Structure 1
Amino acid sequence: MTSACDSLPAPVAPTAERLVTGRFGQLLLMVFGSGLSMYLLTSVVPLYLAAHGSGGVGAGLSTGAMMLSAVAAELAVPKLLARIGYRATLGLGLVLLGAPALVLLTTSALPLVLAVCVVRGAGLAILVVGAVALVAELTPAHRRGEGLGVYGLAVGLPAVLGLPLGVYLIEVIGYGGLFVLAAVASLAGLVTLPAIPGRVTDVEEQHVNVLGGLRGSGLLMPTFVFAAVTVAAGISVTFLPLAVAGDNHSLVAAALLVQAATAPAARWIAGRYGDRVGPARLLAPALVLAALGAAALVFVGSPIAILAGSALFGTGFGAAQNLTLATMYDRVPRSRYNQVSALWNLAYDGGWGIGAIAFGAVVAGTGYPLAFALTATVVALAIVPAIRATR
């Protein structure tokens, strides 16, 4: 005879909440392709301009034009998301980032190249703001740091491949082949759009004023701290190929590979540990690593210093990416996720662009070692507010 207890169902072990869902996976594929489109040309366009007589000033302007265009566009992306939703907004970004690369097949004139950079910058802004906000929507709050770390891997892998590969492929398929490859990498992301949600948060609840309500929000410190780190990031990627003596493309490619590989790994690890101890507590150590890495580039004639500096900076930069963004999301309600995404990307692209333009102007009078030393000082100064925020 079977007892009542025997008829009860066996207890079911709790299952872990799935982090990478189908929609999240499709978003990661889109992010990978668009990131590859960006990074293939990040160091190549400055070399392309320098090879056609535009020099270091033209190289700095190309990076600056793209990033400052992204800054301007990022102010409008939250409103665009509220009006037409994630799917249409991200599709527009893919087209603006990919299609203009084909124009470079026809010209090397500085004004036209800068115009291409401006349009691509707007596409980049749409993609990064929309994608980062959607990641926060699609991941559970208690695993947000890890979710942002997974997103960081999807963003970082194109940098690992694209930064060194772009420089290497100049000798293999030429500039024209690279421009076509960059266009295809972004436009291929259009096939993922059916899986992207139209809207997640109600339009009425979305905070679309990027610069509104910042006083007392706790967002300004991580924004300015991250901007200081991205100044150095834009400088290293744009000017390291020009600073290394001779045509030592293999050393430059190796350094860019090291920096690009360490950044996403550090971004993921920082996300996992940040979920446990709080992201703000890890921010100052990340900045110390970034400052040491930037300072190592003072010894621009030493391959060991360049490679070690790239590893240190990549680690600190990657960790700072996750920690600043997670800190900002922790300090606002869900209705302000779009604002946080736009503000953080403003710091990213604004620091990257301003750093490239300023460095291009300074290096002509100081030389590379002193200019790199000034860059490291900017990063080191950001350690102070990070420590104060922890206390």
Structure 2
Amino acid sequence: MTTTCEIPTVQVATAERLVTGRFGRLLVMVFGSGLSMYLLTSVVPLYLAANGSGGIGAGLSTGAMMLSAVGVELLVPRMLARWGCQVVLGLGLVLLGAPSLVLLTTASLPAVLAVCVVRGAGLAILVVGAVALVADLTPAARRGEGLGIYGIAVGVPAVIGLPLGVYLTNRIGFDALFVLAAFSSLAGLVTLVGLPARVSAEEQHVKVLGGVRRSGLLMPTFVFAAVTVAAGISVTFLPLAVAADKHSLVATALLLQAATAPGARWLAGRYGDRVGPAKLLAPALVLAALGAGSLVLIGNPIAIVVGSTLFGLGFGAAQNLTLTMMYHRVPNSRYGQVSALWNLAYDGGWGMGAIIFGAVVAGAGYPLAFGLTALVVAAAVVPAVKALQPS
């Protein structure tokens, strides 16, 4: 899961220290909680499949977590205003980490789904709460750089956790992974000491869906949701679609997907500033569609590795380009709405894609289901191209 906010430019340079002790503790907490999430993102579907609840059950597990996050994200600002950062972040760490230990005792689908719902709530609390603190813990003149460092702390756990979780299933087993995921989150409780009790910014109430169509936010929101559908599907079902004795291949593919996305996101931002993000969006979607489509050849190791890499490039670029387009289309007063919409598209697309894909797989099999996923991404190219045409 990713959250972004816009920070106004400050023109006065300063040598004020960026990574203070308090900001460093926040980064450690973010890294640990992110690792807890990504270690189990692909492992929980494997756990369900190993216990007879694959397919639909696997999709429901991812969908339950991400859709739970969508609902709770809208509540976190009020929670922060009422109870303060330390209490709310502590609650998030417990909700994300502790339920993993329940999986030591049961593989029942209803119980696993309940665990995923609770973990999704914890994830939402941590993402929104951590971003709210970044502005307070970084110097105003270096806040953009601080958000960049925060972005690394959010992104690196995906690079490590997605492939590592799959790889370790055959090395240390599910139970040890569940304990590791719980510890990774709960250990962050010690980092809360010394963090601000409350954020200094006043609570902002954003009408997330207000004026979406008139402001031009609908198209990039739809486009990004289409890509995140495929992202949720790949990390949930790729380990299930490949034979159990080839989990090292899946781990490599997930590593390449997770590692290429941040680089593509940075490059898209760099060149999008020069030529305009709308000009790069359609090529990014084509890359993502090709990557998703290559998984139709699920029995071919080269197709899996190359496809995951292409999808990582397209997905990373689309993250930056859609968000930048949305910011360009609204005044500063609506930046909060942009961030909320973008994150709802991220989590909602990820969750709904996994649920629907699981149902399709049950009746049509993996190759056809992956082909339909690629068509969903490819369909988003049409509005992206239309955005280049003069109105």
- Normalised to the residue count of structure 1, the TM-score between the two structures is 0.86
* Letter of the structure 1 residue corresponding to residue 300 of structure 2: S
Deviations, residues 78-131 of structure 1 (Å, cap 9, x unaligned): 433444455543333222111111111121111111100000011112222334
C-alpha displacement at 1:326, in angstroms?
3.3
- The answer as to whether partners of 1:78 and 1:208 remain within 8 angstroms in 2 is no
Q: Secondary structure at the match of 1:55?
A: coil
Residues 156, 134 of structure 1: alpha-carbon distance in 2 compared, 3 angstrom cutoff: same
SS in 2 for 1:297: helix
Tell me the distance in 2 between the aligned counterparts of 1:326 and 1:30.
27
> What is the letter of the counterpart of residue 226 of structure 2?
A
The corresponding residue for 2:27 is 28
* Cα shift readout 1:193-222 (whole Å, capped 9, x = no counterpart): 33357224223xx13433334342333222
Q: SS of the residue aligned with 1:53? A: coil
Partner of 1:324: 322
Structure 1 window deviating more from structure 2 (221-230 vs 281-290): it is: 281-290
Structure 2 counterpart SS, 1:298 = helix
Instruction: Give runs of aligned pairs for residues 251-266 of structure 1, distance below 5 A.
Output: 251-266=249-264
Alignment partner, residue 77 of structure 1: 76
In the alignment, is residue 297 of structure 1 matched against residue 295 of structure 2? yes
List, as ranges, runs of 4+ consecutive aligned residues in structure 1 with deviation greater than 6 Å.
16-19, 139-143
1:223 and 1:191, CA in 2 relative to 1: closer, same or farther beyond 3 A?
farther
User: Kindly tell me: are residues 282 and 92 of structure 1, through their superposed partners in 2, closer, same or farther at Cα, counting changes over 3 Å?
Assistant: farther
2:195 is matched with: 195
1:157 corresponds in structure 2 to 156
**Residue pairs, 1:123-138, within 5 angstroms:** 123-132=122-131
Q: Secondary structure at the match of 2:306?
A: helix
Amino acid at match of 1:222: P
Deviation at 1:19, TM superposition (A): 9.8
- Alignment partner for residue 368 of structure 1, among 344, 363, 366? 366
Comparing 244-253 with 117-126, which one deviates more in the overlay?
244-253
1:91 maps to 2:90: yes
Alignment correspondent of 1:182:
181
Moved more, 59-68 or 15-24: 15-24
* 8 A Cα contact 2:80 2:198, kept in partner: no
How large is the RMSD of aligned CA atoms in angstroms? 2.8
Amino acid at match of 1:358: I
Q: Which amino acid aligns with 2:202?
A: D
Distance 1:135 1:240 in 2: 34
The aligned counterpart of 2:107 is: 108
1:354 to 342, 352, 362: 352
In the other structure, the counterpart of 1:6 is none
Unaligned segments of structure 2, at least 5 residues: 1-11
In 1, are the aligned partners of 2:92 and 2:122 still within 8 Å (CA)? yes
Query: What residue number does 1:344 align with?
Result: 342
- The separation in 2 between residues aligned to 1:132 and 1:172, in whole angstroms, is 35
1:276-322, CA deviations, whole angstroms, 9 ceiling, x for partnerless residues?
A: 55444432222121111111111111100100000010111112222
Please tell me the residue identity of whatever aligns with 2:346.
Y
Amino acid at match of 2:347: D
Cα distance in 1 between the residues matched to 2:196 and 2:313: 31
Q: Partner of 1:229: helix, strand, or coil?
A: helix
Matched to 1:385, the amino acid is P
Say if 1:195 and 1:349 are closer, same or farther in 2 by CA, change over 3 A: same
Q: 1:142 and 1:238 mapped to 2: Cα distance?
A: 37
Quick one: distance in 2 between partners of 1:170 and 1:246?
A: 10
Rounded to whole Å, the distance in 2 between the matches of 1:245 and 1:320 is 31
CA 1:191–1:328: 2 relative to 1, 3 Å: farther
Q: In structure 1, how many angstroms separate the alpha carbons of the residues matched to 2:25 and 2:267?
A: 23
- Normalising by the residue count of structure 2, what TM-score does the alignment of the two structures yield? 0.86
CA distance in 2, matches of 1:384, 1:149: 31
% identity of equivalent residues: 76
Equivalent of residue 384 in structure 1, options 377, 382, 385: 382
2:269 counterpart of 1:267? no
- Between the aligned partners of 1:172 and 1:100, the Cα distance in structure 2 is 22
- Indicate conservation of the 8 Å contact 1:207/1:336, yes or no: no
Give the stretch that moved more between structures: 262-271 or 277-286. Answer: 277-286
Taking the aligned partners of 2:121 and 2:373, their CA distance within structure 1 comes to: 26
**Aligned counterpart, 1:119:** 118
Tell me the CA shift for residue 360 of structure 1: 0.8
Given that residues 152 and 267 in structure 1 are in contact (C-alpha distance below 8 angstroms), is that contact kept between their aligned partners in structure 2?
no
More off after superposition, 128-137 vs 292-301: 128-137
Alpha-carbon contact 2:135-2:143 (below 8 Å) kept: no
Three-state SS of the structure 1 residue aligned to 2:59 is helix
1:48 aligns with 47
| 1:143 Cα offset (Å) | 8.2
1:52-67 alignment to 2 at 5 Å? 52-67=51-66
Q: Do the aligned partners of 2:16 and 2:139 also contact (CA within 8 Å) in 1?
A: no
- Find the structure with the greater CA-based Rg: 1
Cα 1:20–1:245 change in 2 (3 A) is same
Aligned length: 375
Counterparts of 2:110 and 2:226, CA distance in 1: 29
